[in-house]
Amino acid sequence: MNRWTLIGTEQLGKFLNGLSEEERTKVNSVFLLFEEYGQILPAKYLKRMAGTKELWELRAKRIRIFIVISGNIGIAVHGIIKKSQKTPKQDIELAVKRAIKAKEDLL
């Protein structure tokens, strides 16, 4: 099985720094799962965002980390704490913009 790599952007780092210790621990455990299993993670942890071509969300309870995947590399571009069932459209749009820029800059 190929190993996966997860890269985080500066914006994501700022988001993670604002989380509690418990929330960061949960997010880190999901990051480790992604690095071990990649796209074969169950939907409980990883799901493609409907209406987008390349955006995925890593799920750590109510925290969502949006990533774009290229080959065996995931680039984490945006994070939110979900407060309702539906993901806010502006967060999806921001994550898509950041994903495009991150792919240009990092790959």
Domain of 14, CATH number, reads 3.30.2310.20
Average pLDDT over residues 34-48: 93
Give the integer Cα–Cα distance in Å for 72 and 21: 28
Q: The tokens of 107 are what?
A: 């790959």
47-102 confidence digits (pLDDT tens): 999 888 889 999 999 999 999 998 899 999 999 999 888 888 999 999 999 998 88
Q: How many domains does the chain have?
A: 1
pLDDT of residue 1: 54
Classify strands 73-81 and 5-8 as parallel, antiparallel or unpaired. Answer: parallel
Domain that holds residue 49: 5-106
Q: In DSSP terms, which residues pair with 81 in a beta bridge? A: 63
Question: Euclidean distance between the first and final Cα of the chain, in Å?
Answer: 22
pLDDT of residue 81: 94
Question: Reduced to 3 states, what is the DSSP secondary structure of residue 70?
Answer: strand
